[in-house]
């Protein structure tokens, strides 16, 4: 299934398995192209969203997803096509994403017990949820500045935020919320696992484990 949302304030679900055989287009590569018409989807929680839907995340429960719209997070149950929970946050939601390590690198001592964590930035506050449906708020931190985005280091027990307004990236301690570092105008990325992963190609050929952009 695929979920879509946008300025129409409608949360739609498409069944890809059903559409594959009906509207597949010829493809010469590994990617299959499928045409999805709005009329073939079914809407969940009609009339619930009052603002455009900016983010949609699937939970570990295949029948549950979370949307971010305006200043509100909403949890939806697909079988009953209904919203079963709402939480109003500190301001307009600017980022909402799932943070997780690859299965082979997870550890019960990580934040969230080794399972994915939902990280959200809204207003001047960052929020974190865990649980199979991201229904357990584990922490929130109110900062002294607006927050445009948040990234969580599950193993290093720290989080980084993009300050708004401004160009600063600030790093805070997960344990007490104290600021432990900041960078102006520079994005640095660290790989917290060994070997090949994403942009990092290991140490072969002199490629460093840390990339700076």
Are 151 and 100 members of one domain? yes
pTM here?
Answer: 0.78
Q: What is the pLDDT of residues 100-145, one digit of tens each?
A: 998 888 899 999 998 999 999 999 999 999 999 999 999 999 999 9
pLDDT for the residue 204: 47
Question: Residue 140 is part of which domain span?
Answer: 90-213
Are 140 and 42 members of one domain? no
Are 27 and 112 members of one domain? no
Where is 17: in which H helix or E strand?
A: helix 16-23
Say if strands 188-190 and 210-212 run parallel, antiparallel, or are unpaired: antiparallel
Are 3 and 79 members of one domain? yes
Domain boundary among 88, 110, 130: 88
Domain boundary among 58, 88, 118: 88
Are 43 and 147 members of one domain? no
Are 62 and 130 members of one domain? no
Q: How many domains does the chain have?
A: 2
Are 82 and 110 members of one domain? no
Are 127 and 210 members of one domain? yes
Are 102 and 175 members of one domain? yes
> How confident is the model over 43-70, as a mean pLDDT?
94
Q: What is the pLDDT of residues 59-113, one digit of tens each?
A: 999 999 999 999 999 999 999 999 999 999 999 999 999 999 988 888 999 999 9
Are 121 and 202 members of one domain? yes
pLDDT for the residue 26: 56
With contact defined as beta carbons under 8 Å apart, do 93 and 121 qualify? yes
pLDDT for the residue 209: 47
Among 186, 162, 187, which Cα is nearest to 172's?
Answer: 162
Are 146 and 188 members of one domain? yes
For residue 36, what are its two tokens? Answer: 């999805």
With contact defined as beta carbons under 8 Å apart, do 16 and 1 qualify? yes
Domain boundary among 73, 88, 103: 88
Are 44 and 23 members of one domain? yes
* Integer angstrom CA distances of residue 202 from 107, 156, 191, 207, 208: 22, 20, 10, 7, 8
The three-class DSSP label of residue 32 is: coil
């Amino acid at each position: 299934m695929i979920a879509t949302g946008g300025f129409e304030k409608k949360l739609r679900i498409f069944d890809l398995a059903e559409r594959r055989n009906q509207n597949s287009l010829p493809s010469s590569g590994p990617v299959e192209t499928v045409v999805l018409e709005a009329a073939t989807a079914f809407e969940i929680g009609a009339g619930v969203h009052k603002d455009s839907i900016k983010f949609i995340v699937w939970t570990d429960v295949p029948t549950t997803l979370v949307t971010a719209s305006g200043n509100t997070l909403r949890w939806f149950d697909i079988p009953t096509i209904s919203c079963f929970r709402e939480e109003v946050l500190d301001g307009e939601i600017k980022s909402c994403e799932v943070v997780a390590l690859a299965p082979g690198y997870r550890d019960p001592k990580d934040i969230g017990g080794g399972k994915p964590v939902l990280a959200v930035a809204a207003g001047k506050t960052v929020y974190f949820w865990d649980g199979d449906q991201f229904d357990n708020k584990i922490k929130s931190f109110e900062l002294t500045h607006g927050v445009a985005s948040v990234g969580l280091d599950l193993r290093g027990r720290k989080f980084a935020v993009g300050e708004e307004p401004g160009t600063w990236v600030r790093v805070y301690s997960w344990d007490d919320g104290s600021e432990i570092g900041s960078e102006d105008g520079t994005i640095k990325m660290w790989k917290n696992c060994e070997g090949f992963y994403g942009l990092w190609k290991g140490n072969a050929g002199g490629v460093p484990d840390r990339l700076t952009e």
